[in-house]
Structure 1
Amino acid sequence: MNQFEEQTIFEDLKKGKEQAFEQLFKRYYQALCTYATQLLQDDDAAEEIVQDFFVKLWEKRNSITIETSLKSYLFRSVKNHSLNRIKHEKIKTQHAQHVIAEAEMNDYDDQFLEVDLKKDIEESIAALPEKRREIFRLSREEGLKYREIAEKLNLSVKTVEAQMGLAIKSLRDKLKKYNSFIFFLSCFRKKAV
């Protein structure tokens, strides 16, 4: 295709003549895909880039100005789109690696904290006076209500409530270094009678 033919096709394209667009597409599509594949090393991505380019070429046909040959414009545009895709993929990969690294680091920190917290909770419960510890375990581990604990241990409901209050206060004081009162309170909140 000589420069005059290119100029004619380009002028017809700008006027919205679909025949000119089809001519360009048939003439350059495969060559542009091959070129994009060399840049991207990915056939599917290359085809996607070239198809997107042709869509944009049609949509923006009225505002396009070509200072070189039409062929040069087409290949330069596909090259720019391909390089943008490579940069975008590189940024996505770097971001994904950063997120994975951060998640792994946080997971280990959380796991260590959780192990320490569980250990300290168990030690704090074990340090409670025997009857208080028994009431606490019946409430929190076996899920018994205060009334059921009172009946089982032959105590008043008020005594069970008082012992649970003291147990929670003691645990809260011993575990305050974890600074997670919301978590703590939600795990050890008072059960209904």
Structure 2
Amino acid sequence: MLPEQEQILINKLNAGDRKALETIFRLFYPRLTRYAQHYLADPDAAQDIVQELFVYLWERRGNIRCVSLSALLLVSVRNRCLNYIEHQNYIGRYLDHMPHSEVEHLYATNLSISANSANSADPTSVDGSVLQQLLNTVLNNLPDRQQEAYRYVRLNDCTLQSAAEEMNISISAVAKLVNKASEKVKAYIQKHYPTDF
């Protein structure tokens, strides 16, 4: 795209023209997503970052000043990717240095499990076999990588680093997969066996 064409799009965007944003999105989204994926192992995170950039562009309409739209977008995606990586590495380092019991606590669904709950009148108690059945059901419906990460870290008691090495991904990617899986496990169990969280 010629610099003059980019400047026309920027002017239209600054004037609040939604079609200009759609045009910019259509022209740049595939390239920016591929570019973000060079930095990030997680394609979903790469797409999220690019989509958030377009939201930011729309929110900042009227104040966008640049010589090259493509340069602005590429630099913005790069900076957002680097910030994301730094944040994920921080989370990974934080979790790796926490005692395992505290990491478990962060992921815990806080269910009250009682072996005698079948005879209990307490509706917030969950029988261990019922919980295991719910867990198996939700795990079997998770995406493969989330399921794998969850099983390594939560069920097989591996560290994030060990899981990362086994899965050939970064520690932060494992943490993200486990977090996503944990949220789904928690939501599924809450839906099918409501408890006080």
Normalised TM-score (structure 1): 0.51
- Per-residue CA deviations over 1:75-97 (Å, capped at 9, x if unaligned) read 00000000000000000111111
Q: CA deviation at 1:63?
A: 2.2
How many residues were matched structurally? Answer: 103
Aligned position for 1:89? 88
Structure ranking higher in helix proportion: 1
Aligned position for 1:10? 10
Of structures 1 and 2, the larger Rg is shown by 1
Change (3 A) 1:103 1:25: closer
Look up the equivalent residue of 1:4 and give its one-letter code. E
Aligned position for 2:48? 48
Rounded to whole Å, the distance in 1 between the matches of 2:102 and 2:54 is 40
Deviating beyond 3 angstroms after TM superposition, the runs of 4 or more aligned structure 1 residues are: 101-104
Aligned position for 1:135? none
Look up the equivalent residue of 1:45 and give its one-letter code. A
Aligned position for 1:61? 61
Q: CA RMSD in A?
A: 1.6
Rounded to whole Å, the distance in 1 between the matches of 2:52 and 2:102 is 35
What secondary structure sits across from 1:63 in the alignment? coil
Aligned position for 2:25? 25
User: Within the alignment, does 1:77 sit opposite 2:102 as a pair?
Assistant: no
Rounded to whole Å, the distance in 2 between the matches of 1:55 and 1:100 is 39
Q: Percent identical across equivalent pairs?
A: 37
Rounded to whole Å, the distance in 1 between the matches of 2:60 and 2:4 is 22
Look up the equivalent residue of 1:63 and give its one-letter code. N
Q: CA deviation at 1:100?
A: 2.8
Aligned position for 1:147? none
- Per-residue CA deviations over 1:36-95 (Å, capped at 9, x if unaligned) read 0111121111000000110011101222221x3110000000000000000000001111
Gaps of 5+ in 1: 105-193
- Per-residue CA deviations over 1:163-185 (Å, capped at 9, x if unaligned) read xxxxxxxxxxxxxxxxxxxxxxx
Look up the equivalent residue of 2:32 and give its one-letter code. L
Normalised TM-score (structure 2): 0.50
Q: CA deviation at 1:98?
A: 1.8
Change (3 A) 1:103 1:19: closer
Superposition pairs of residues 104-143 of structure 1, within 5 angstroms? none
What secondary structure sits across from 1:83 in the alignment? helix
Look up the equivalent residue of 1:97 and give its one-letter code. D
Rounded to whole Å, the distance in 2 between the matches of 1:6 and 1:85 is 28
Look up the equivalent residue of 2:49 and give its one-letter code. I
